[in-house]
Chains A and B, each alone.
Chain A
Amino acid sequence: MTDVSTRIDEIVKKSDIVLFMKGTALFPQCGFSSRAVAILDHLGVAFETVDVLQDPEIRNGIKDYSDWPTIPQLYVKGEFVGGSDIMMEMFEAGELQQLLTEKQVAKA
Chain B
Amino acid sequence: MPMPAGEIESLIREGIPDARVEIIDLAGDGDHYEARVVAESFRGQPRVKQHQRVYQALGGRMGNELHALKLSTAVPE
Contact = CB atoms under 8 A, between A and B. Distances in A.
Interface of A: 31-32, 63, 67-71, 80-83, 85-86, 89-90
**Is chain B's binding surface mostly helix, strand, loop or mixed?**
mixed
B2 interface: no
Ranked 8 nearest A-B pairs via Cβ: A69-B63, A69-B62, A70-B63, A85-B71, A86-B47, A82-B48, A69-B55, A85-B70
Q: Is the interface of A mostly helix, strand, loop or mixed?
A: mixed
Contacts of B72: 85, 89
Interface residues of B, number: 12
Contacts of A90: 47
Contacts of B71: 85
B68 interface: yes
